[in-house]
Amino acid sequence: MTIKALFTKRVRRYACAALASAVTTFVGLQALSVAEAQSCTLRDATRWQTAVSDAEMELTPAYVRFVTETFLRACPERPEFKGASRIAGIAAADLGDAAAAVRHFRNAGRMRDTQSNFYAIAVNLAVGNDGAAWDIRDQMVEIWHDRLDRNPMVSIASVRVDGGIVYQVQFTERANESGPKSAWVGVPSGPGWPATMSFSNNRMLMAMRTMRTGTENPSVRRIELNRCYGRRSLGQLDPRLTSVELDGAAIAGLSAYLANPDFGIELSDTAISPCYLSDRLLPMPLVR
């Protein structure tokens, strides 16, 4: 992945988080007179949100952390405090400061977005808070499961196996025939990251196969195994397999993973990396 791509993804993280926090500010507008009576006002919150989403600024982790922590120190009673703590936690993790990131995520409280939770798990592991890390994982999986369970375009079931639980997910509607049609998510009952087995029409893989073979078959699906810090294609799905056989093979594969799950983290002196492609570990329907 190029430096440019990494920077673009980082800007998107901060901008999206700031947008989510802006919803809180909008609600706060309904009580403007009360907010303005405080020592820290709605104007201060708006100034901070503008700073962390300014397209003219280089949104480095150091810059985002500085302006956000400045706001947090000045405005601990503002309704945006929890959202700002989440952004500060991401920035601190991107700078390799696990202790500060843990503190910010703790101040953020229960977080509903997958990305922030994966960050929180990673930084807690980095400081040795393993129990807290896996508690956050379980809360994150619970939120993900509840969202899918309420979605009329998704069918989700679960089966307990040795070492954890496997969620069976069927997406009845997808955008542009891309993304997973089916996914099986294995979550350890003890320490460990989730892993997902999915069967999908991956356009890039299909294009590469077409270039190699000179043939095109848009109905072909691939079997993919997604782990916290790795992803690989296991091969082409045999169209003769029945749904029962497919389900059994996926559960068997994830049962083997749950017997020896991943539970480490990638970190350096300058950054703590959350799981790569976290949206593949806990897949959601694509938005049209």
Whether residues 113 and 164 share a domain: the answer is: no
**What's the confidence (pLDDT) of residue 181?**
77
Number of domains in the chain: 2
Rounded to the nearest 10°, the torsion over CA 191, 1, 144, 176 is: -150
Whether residues 258 and 175 share a domain: the answer is: yes
Give the CA angle between residues 89, 90, 93 to the nearest 5°: 85
> Taking the chain (288 residues) in consecutive chunks of 10 residues, what is each chunk's mean pLDDT?
42 56 47 53 94 86 96 96 96 96 97 95 97 97 96 94 96 60 93 89 51 52 84 70 81 94 88 88 78
Q: Is 287 within a domain?
A: no
Backbone angles phi, psi at 161, to 5 degrees: -130, 170
What residue ranges in the chain does DSSP mark as E strands? 154-161, 164-171, 180-188, 195-200, 222-227, 230-236, 266-267, 272-273
Whether residues 173 and 222 share a domain: the answer is: yes
The boundaries of the domain holding residue 174 are 151-263
Cα→Cα distances 274→26, 124, 129, 286, Å: 30, 11, 15, 22
Contacts for 79 with CB less than 8 Å, ≥ 6 apart: 24, 25, 27, 28
Which pTM was predicted?
Answer: 0.81
Residue 97: count of CB within 10 angstroms of its CB: 21
